[in-house]
């Protein structure tokens, strides 16, 4: 059973976990893997119709945890999730990477019968070459989730083989991702009553985490000013401390020339390094927050 504190946030014994549903989605698979060592009777999985509603469920405290996709190895950042980190009061507790094995599923018996393919935009993008070669005439329909109803025999969805078993569908094709090593990163999120970690709490939290784990990956959320070379200056702050950055995303603020940046930075040194980094970033950014420590 997960039982880790981050600041004032503790994963309690009885979990309610919101995910992009229904059962069988990759979010559902990721949630199950995150809690694979838990007593399944102590985990309540709550299927939500969209990523936005997963965030809302967690933000309102109607589920104490949520699982959301954040990056795919083929299509990159999942914008629905990344943009919501800017507006929803949540923090990240941990991450999970799962392998994605897309299949073409339908009530039809032959791929030749398929005229419409429905899937989440990420899945359509991950299979676009395969679809153009094998179903060039089929209409592609974006849906909030990969597991959507198959109402007509000429329709198919892109989902895992597990979905075929759950919903009595035929597997018309397997492993249809354009790149076979297809993986997606998921975050486990929870409500953040502190409106994102600030300097006063994050330094001591990371210090405790490093003492327990030996290192910590800190998720920074920065609002950069409109200034020539600002990204270079931000990266230099971390480079000067010889810190490893595993991920960086830029997101629009709604104003041309201004951006948010989300950076994953590994901290394995004395926590004073983090305090200095935070102070240096505050001098060049409009706002500095931490989304979590994993």
The average confidence (pLDDT) of the chain is 87
Instruction: Identify the weakest region by mean pLDDT among 130-134, 198-202, 209-213.
Output: 198-202
- Residue 140 confidence (pLDDT): 97
Which pairing describes strands 103-106 and 170-173: parallel, antiparallel, or unpaired? antiparallel
Using a pLDDT cut of 70, give the percent of the chain over it: 88
CATH node for 199-293: 3.30.70.260
> Is the pLDDT reported for residue 131 higher than 50?
yes
Using a pLDDT cut of 90, give the percent of the chain over it: 55
- Going by pLDDT thresholds of 50, 70 and 90, the confidence category of residue 176 is very high
From 259, 225, 227, 231, select the one nearest 245 (Cα to Cα).
231
CATH node for 5-99+183-191: 3.40.190.10
Q: What is the pLDDT of residues 69-100, one digit of tens each?
A: 999 999 999 988 999 998 888 989 999 999 99
- Average pLDDT on 102-127 reads 96
For tokens 């949630």, the residue is 31
Handedness of CA 219, 224, 230, 233 (dihedral sign): negative
For the chain, where do the domains classified as CATH 3.30.70.260 start and end? 199-293
Please report how the helices 230-239 and 272-284 are oriented relative to each other, as an axis angle in degrees rounded to 10.
170
CATH node for 103-173: 3.40.190.10
- Residue 39 confidence (pLDDT): 59
> Is the pLDDT reported for residue 226 higher than 50?
yes
User: DSSP assignment, residue 197?
Assistant: B
For the chain, where do the domains classified as CATH 3.40.190.10 start and end? 5-99+183-191, 103-173
- Going by pLDDT thresholds of 50, 70 and 90, the confidence category of residue 276 is confident
Please state the pTM of the whole predicted model. Answer: 0.87
The Cα–Cα gap between 7 and 91 comes to: 11
- Residue 10 confidence (pLDDT): 47
Query: How would you class 3 by CB atoms within 10 Å of its CB: exposed for 0-12, middle for 13-18, buried for 19 or more?
Result: exposed
């Amino acid at each position: 059973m997960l039982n880790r504190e981050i600041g004032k946030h503790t994963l309690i014994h009885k979990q309610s976990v919101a995910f992009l549903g229904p059962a069988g989605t990759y979010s559902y698979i990721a949630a199950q893997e995150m809690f694979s060592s838990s007593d399944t009777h102590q985990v309540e999985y709550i299927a939500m119709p969209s990523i936005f509603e997963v965030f809302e469920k967690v933000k309102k405290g109607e589920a104490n945890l949520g699982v959301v996709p954040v990056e795919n190895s083929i299509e990159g950042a999942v914008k629905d999730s990344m943009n919501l980190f800017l507006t929803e009061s949540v923090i990240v507790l941990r991450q999970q990477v799962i392998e994605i094995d897309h299949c073409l599923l339908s009530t039809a018996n032959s791929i030749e019968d398929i005229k419409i393919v429905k899937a989440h935009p990420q899945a359509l993008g991950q299979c676009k070459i395969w679809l153009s070669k094998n179903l060039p005439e089929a209409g592609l329909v974006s849906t909030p989730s990969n597991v959507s109803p198959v109402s007509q025999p000429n329709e198919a969805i892109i989902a895992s083989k597990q979905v075929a078993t759950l919903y009595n569908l035929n597997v018309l094709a397997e492993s249809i991702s354009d790149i076979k090593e297809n993986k997606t990163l998921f975050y486990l999120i929870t409500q953040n009553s502190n409106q994102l970690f600030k300097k006063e709490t994050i330094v001591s939290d990371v210090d405790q985490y490093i003492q327990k784990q030996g290192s910590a990956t800190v998720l920074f959320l920065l609002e950069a000013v409109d200034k020539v070379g600002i990204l270079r200056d931000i990266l230099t702050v971390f480079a000067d401390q010889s810190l490893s950055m595993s991920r960086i995303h830029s997101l629009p603020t709604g104003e041309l020339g201004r951006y948010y940046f989300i950076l994953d930075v590994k901290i394995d040194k004395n926590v004073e390094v983090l305090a200095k980094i935070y102070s240096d970033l505050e001098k060049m950014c409009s706002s500095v927050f931490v989304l979590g420590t994993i």
